[in-house]
Structures are given as C-alpha cells and as structure tokens.
Structure 1
Amino acid sequence: MVISAERETRLARLNIEITEQESILSSLDGKKARLRAELEEYRNMDSSISLV
C-alpha cells in the first residue's frame, strides 16, 4: 500500500534524525566534560597564584 510505504519512509527519516541528534548530544557531552576539566584546571591555577 502507498500509505504504508509513506509511513515507513517517514519512520526511517525520523530514525535518521534521532541518530543525528544523539550524535550531536554525545559530541556536546564530550565538549562539556573538556570545558569543565579546563575550568577546574584554571581554578586550581588561580588558587595557587598569589597577587603581589
């Protein structure tokens, strides 16, 4: 049936979009972790520096 084929095409497109969005979220999670580590590094450096 035509309706069934259209539905399957739509479902396939949605699955692709979900996979793409999950990939973006995963990438952002990695970036967030790197930025948090960098922030912690700067905080540690800041606390070890004494102002003259």
Structure 2
Amino acid sequence: MPSATVQQQMPVASAKVFALLHDYSRRLEWDTLLRDARLTQDHQQASQGATEH
C-alpha cells in the first residue's frame, strides 16, 4: 500500500498548533476533509477521555 510523509515548518510554536488542531469550534475552518467536527458526551474541549463524533 502506498504511503507518504508530508513535513511543513510551522511559523508558530508547536503548542499553538496543537491547540488549534484540537479546537473543535474552529476545526472546520481549516480541515477540508470534514463536514462536521464535535466532541461526544458533552465534552467542551479535547482532553483525555473525550471522543470525536
């Protein structure tokens, strides 16, 4: 099965990138592969035990 690796130097700190990746209220602004992005079980933010729906 083909695979690839994409690397991109980010112009901000990794903590800011991580926070954006896990900010589900903003996820659809940049993730063009999704139609919906939300957490299940009334979680308000991504954290251990939270799941995506």
TM-score (norm 1): 0.26
Larger gyration radius, structure 1 or structure 2: 1
TM-score by length of 2: 0.26
Which one has more relative contact order, counting CA pairs under 8 Å at least 6 apart?
Answer: 2
Q: Which structure shows the higher helix fraction?
A: 1
